[in-house]
Amino acid sequence: MIDLPRTPSFRLDGKRALVTGASSGIGLGAAVALAGAGADVWLVARREAELQAARDAIRATGAQAHAQVADITDLEAIAGLTREGPYDVLVNAAGLARHSPALDTSAADYDAAMALNLRAAYFLTREVARGLIAAGRPGSLINISSQMGHVAGPDRAVYAATKHGLEGMTKAMAIEWGPHGIRVNTLCPTFIRTPLAEQTLSNPERRAWILSKIKLGRVGEVTDIMGPVVFLASDASALMTGAALLIDGGWTAE
């Protein structure tokens, strides 16, 4: 009889996960997906009412969830979050976009985008990894990047800069922490129907441009990222690190 290989498990039972930006959009989708796969999930965001509602809704399904209000642009807040660790899984989903022509970009918008999309992600990822290394445990750290970490678009010089930076950061961290069994990857969605994307999607001209780029002919939904998040968090992706998983409907194929 043939000794058949076994598909690695997508389950996350016994794992502890930390998800930022978890009160809505991609962060909420990631938290729901990880909890559904068996992880004990800590949801982090700045909006307390929305965060607690998300936690309660996840608990109502029988899954494990906790809520922690925090502003992750504050390094002291990051230190407080990671004291609860170590976390086996991290999803850096908090982010913002302040689009404008490059000639019109204000210093305030530039600083705000860099502070959350790149600086906060950098230091939170570092602290979660520090906790895993101290505990002698492997882990999977996932940074929510974007197709704009690989291409660019009009009015997106700052946003693309933050996401290209996130891609480089992820690769360097993957090289450094690979010997510890810590994997670091990015998940790179196209435009996903979330409150963050609504301003762009509600513009008919921009929506037409977006649909012309997405080869599958539709805007993404939050559910489109939930399976990929579980894949990257689980043993099913055990040999992936320093990689970018593009969920872009074919945008970057050309």
Give just the sign of the alpha carbon dihedral 242, 245, 250, 252. negative
Name every residue whose Cβ is closer than 8 Å to that of residue 144 and which is 6 or more positions away in sequence.
21, 26, 27, 30, 91, 92, 93, 95, 186, 187, 189
3-state secondary structure 206-242: HHHHHHHHCCCCCCECCHHHHHHHHHHHCHHHCCCCC
- 129 with 80: CB under 8 angstroms? no
Cα–Cα distance between 131 and 163 in angstroms, integer? 25
Name every residue whose Cβ is closer than 8 Å to that of residue 41 and which is 6 or more positions away in sequence.
17, 18, 19, 22, 31, 34, 35, 58, 63, 64, 65, 66
159 is catalytic: yes
Active site residues: 159
